């Protein structure tokens, strides 16, 4: 078991678009296993490699996280190819934005394509909670945080809180 350090805002590495994965080897599997240990311990429902300072288009997710089962899914080089409808993701949070939650407008249904951990192509539709998780994690791989989607007022409140916290570190 190996737990990775999760970067938090305003770490500039969270703002970089991740590089595509081109090699599907044991090293990739070991990174995925470390990411899973990290996500279940946190605990969270998704984790993007970017959040662990790993420059790879790689994410894992599990809408019903049970650390004993670890039934997570892997998505490599993901891309949202279409999105439909709108939902309010209530009280969304992020392991890289500790102690702050906000409502975020998200697409209701998305079509995603990418690959699994062996480089096999995948294409599927996601809705409800899984759709929201995937939009959030794919954003991470593009250097976007959920706070980028909230109202200016909410963001102002967040920035002020962050500034105070950084001052006391």
Interface ranges with Ni ion (CB under 5 A): 94
Q: Compute the distance between CA of residue 5 and CA of residue 105 in angstroms, rounded to an integer.
A: 29
From the list 64, 79, 86, 137, the catalytic residue is 137
The percent of the chain in helix, strand and coil, each rounded to the nearest 5, is: 35, 30, 35
Clarify whether 137 is annotated catalytic: yes
Tokens of 107: 């697409």
Q: Compute the distance between CA of residue 104 and CA of residue 133 in angstroms, rounded to an integer.
A: 12
Q: Which CB sits closer to Ni ion, 120 or 159?
A: 159
Q: Is residue 75 classed exposed, middle or buried when 0-12, 13-18 and 19+ CB atoms within 10 A define those classes?
A: buried
Minimal distance, residue 121 CB to Ni ion, in Å = 25
What is the Cα Rg of the chain in Å?
A: 16
Q: Which CB sits closer to Ni ion, 36 or 94?
A: 94
- Burial of 82-104, coded b for 16+ CB within 10 Å and e otherwise, reads ebeeebebeebbbbbbeebebeb
Minimal distance, residue 46 CB to Ni ion, in Å = 7
Q: Which CB sits closer to Ni ion, 5 or 167?
A: 5
Minimal distance, residue 96 CB to Ni ion, in Å = 5
Minimal distance, residue 120 CB to Ni ion, in Å = 26
Q: Which CB sits closer to Ni ion, 120 or 161?
A: 161
Question: Nearest residue to Ni ion, using CB?
Answer: 94
Catalytic residues: 137
């Amino acid at each position: 078991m190996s737990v990775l350090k999760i970067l938090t805002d305003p770490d500039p590495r969270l703002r970089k678009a991740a590089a595509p994965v081109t090699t599907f080897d044991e090293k990739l599997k070991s990174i995925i296993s470390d990411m899973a240990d990290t996500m279940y311990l946190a605990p969270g429902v998704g984790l993007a490699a970017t959040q662990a300072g790993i420059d790879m288009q790689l994410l894992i997710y599990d809408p019903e996280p049970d650390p004993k089962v670890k039934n997570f899914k892997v998505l490599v080089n993901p891309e949202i190819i279409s999105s439909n409808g709108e939902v309010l993701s209530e009280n969304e949070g992020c392991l890289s934005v500790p102690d702050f939650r906000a409502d975020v407008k998200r697409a209701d249904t998305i079509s995603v394509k990418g690959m699994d951990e062996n480089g096999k192509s995948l294409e599927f539709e996601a809705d409800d909670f899984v759709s929201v998780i995937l939009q959030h994690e794919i954003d991470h791989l593009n250097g976007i945080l959920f706070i980028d989607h909230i109202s200016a007022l909410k963001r102002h409140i967040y920035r002020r809180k962050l500034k105070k916290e950084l001052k006391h570190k």
